[in-house]
Structure 1
Amino acid sequence: MPEARRALVLTAHGTASPAGRQVVLDLVAAVQQALQQRASVLVTDAYVDVQTPEVADVVADLVTRVDDVVVVPLLFCGGYHVRVDVARAVEPFASAHSTGALGPSPLIADALAMRLREAGVTQDEAVVLAAAGSSRVEATTDARTQARMLAEVWGADVDVAFGSAATPSVPDAVNALRERPGRRVAIASLLLGEGHFHDKLIASGADVVTAPLGTATQVVEQILTRFDGVG
């Protein structure tokens, strides 16, 4: 195999969940497969919290070995981790760059709609897009934009709620939608994999919680879109 000239660093939040950790490794493998026809791109993982290797350490090592390093955050909204942790990791190096979060994006809206259909949700049922949540207004704005994109694809209204930091909380949003007797409330999970936040969605009182987006084809496509948008 030719020596790598570029590196793509898929940077996740990090989780203690074995299943959540495996999703990141599976995404690395899926992106490697998608890039196999391109010459010399190294794909690897990094993290901003909970797990190692930390993104700053990975970037500092790679810039000594390849011509160009691109960090793609595996986060769906542009909160603190994207705008501070990842930005700080690449800032010292002229050959290192970071992209925006994976969302908001029509591709992510397609993936969310796919997960709703897989869960048996219909357009006459209430849907809440559940984001992890952030104290930064940019992240909240991203989540609301993603909810509007999902509503356009889904063909029905979509509310938005947050697992932490922002309001409304997911349980509050679920309770507010129980106004019509017999109407199910579904959560569209704007999460990559299982872990702390997904457990909170399961406990929120919703009738249906979709599977995390994981290695959905649209997620892989969006990663490549972010990667190709740099340089």
Structure 2
Amino acid sequence: MTPTLLLVAHGSRDARFPATACRVRDAVAATLPGVDVRLAYLDLNAPLVGDALDEIAGDCVVVPLLFAAGYHQKIDLPAIIGEHDRRGRVVIRSEVIGTFPLANALAERLSEAGLGESACRRAGIILSAVGSSDAAADRHVRRRAIELSTLLNRPVEVVFATKLGHREHQLRNAVRRLRAAGADRIALSPYFLSAGLLTERVEAALDVHAPGALVAGPLGAHRDIVDAVCHHYWTAASTRTMSAKAPDQESVSAATFVARA
């Protein structure tokens, strides 16, 4: 039997977040016909991960819809899986989707927001992310900023929504550095799955410190997000012995797994 794919999202009080997560689930299900694709949350939304695992009888691959491997990936999720695992089945936790190349997706969201080729040559970009207590997770975001900077040949600064500082000094300093580097326009690139309270916090601060800045949309159900999920699902399923062999991966278009970085 094909292992169930359980997408795990963080959860939010903002209704836009579960709506976006559902769109990602639907897009993944359409790309993986024959795979039972489900969605659960770590907090704030239902079903919670433990409840979802209890409803899955067979083997399962858990794919975290997270962009960096911080506390949730290293501590929280493994503990939940351990508490709700059942003897006689295999539950595999994949890498977070942020380990997949996503710089092209960020660049496309900027282009969709109006940062065309000519405007991009004059722009300075702020990559906003949640921020983590895990230093390695924050370093991952900074590496993604370097990838985006290399792709667009423009300066990219990182600002963490949970670490803006007093009077948003982290954002103010990022804007100043971009201006000093020659940027005559600031563009915001959210490294987020969905719009929500944190993205709005950064946008509100940007309205004060860089009026008229261009704001791209979150990644949402971008095709590279779907590719990341599919890639991690098949990789996890193929690297451990499941109780039944997964179907031939050739049934999913090879283009699904082509990195666009």
> The TM-score by the shorter chain falls in which range?
0.7 to 0.9
Aligned pairs for 1:104-123 (under 5 A) are 104-106=99-101, 108-121=102-115, 122-123=120-121
The answer for the alignment partner of 1:142 in structure 2 is 140
Aligned pair count reads: 221
**Residue 170 to residue 84, structure 1, CA distance change in 2 (3 Å):** farther
Give the equivalent residue in structure 2 for 1:127: 125
Q: Is the 8 A contact 1:27 1:214 kept in 2?
A: yes
Q: 1:216 aligns with which of 222, 225, 233?
A: 222
Q: Distance in 2 between matches of 1:102 and 1:179?
A: 34
1:69-102 per-position Cα deviation (integer Å, ceiling 9, x unaligned): 1111111111111212212222353611111211
Structure with greater helix share of residues: 2
Query: Would the aligned equivalents of 1:133 and 1:166 in 2 still touch at CA under 8 Å?
Result: no
Letter in 2 for 1:54: L
Check the 8 A contact 1:99/1:227 in 2, yes or no: yes
Compute the displacement of 1:176 (Å).
4.1
Q: Equivalent residue for 1:203?
A: 204
Q: 1:155 aligns with which of 150, 153, 156?
A: 153
In structure 1, runs of 5+ residues without a counterpart are none
1:53 corresponds to which of 47, 57, 63: 47
8 Å CA contact 2:103–2:147 kept in 1: the answer is yes
The structure with higher relative contact order (CA 8 Å, sep 6+) is 2
Q: Where do residues 32-111 of structure 1 align in structure 2 (5 Å cutoff)?
A: 32-36=29-33, 39=34, 41-62=35-56, 65-66=57-58, 68-91=59-82, 93=85, 95-106=90-101, 108-111=102-105
Give runs of aligned pairs for residues 7-26 of structure 1, distance below 5 A.
7-26=4-23
Which is greater in Rg?
2
**Inter-CA distance 114–182: structure 2 relative to 1 (3 Å threshold):** closer
TM-superposed CA distance for 1:170, in Å, is: 3.8
CA distance in 1, matches of 2:183, 2:30: 45
* Contact 2:164 2:171 survives alignment (8 Å): no
Counterpart residue type for residue 110 of structure 1: N
Distance 1:171 1:135, change over 3 A: farther
On the 8 A contact 2:123/2:183 being kept in 1, the answer is no
Structure 1 match to 2:184: 183
CA distance in 2, matches of 1:137, 1:117: 30
Using a 3 Å threshold, how does the CA distance of structure 1 residues 42 and 120 change in structure 2: closer, same or farther?
Answer: same
Distance (Å, rounded) in 2 between the aligned partners of 1:61 and 1:170 = 44
* 1:9/1:28 CA distance change after superposition, 3 Å: same
- Structure 2: tracts of 5 or more residues without a match: 238-261
Q: CA RMSD in A?
A: 2.2
SS of 1:160 mapped into structure 2:
strand
Question: Could you report, residue by residue, the CA deviation over 1:11-67 in whole angstroms, capped at 9, with x for unpaired residues?
Answer: 11111222222111111111110011xx3x2111111122121112212331xx12x
The answer as to 2:24 corresponding to 1:27 is yes
When residues 164 and 221 of structure 1 are mapped into structure 2, their CA distance, relative to the original with a 3 A threshold, is same
Normalised by the size of structure 1, how large is the TM-score? 0.87
Offset at residue 159 of structure 1 (A): 1.6
| Cα deviation code 1:163-214 (max 9, x no counterpart) | 1158884454235434478711111100001111111121121412210000
Return the letter of the residue paired with 1:25: C
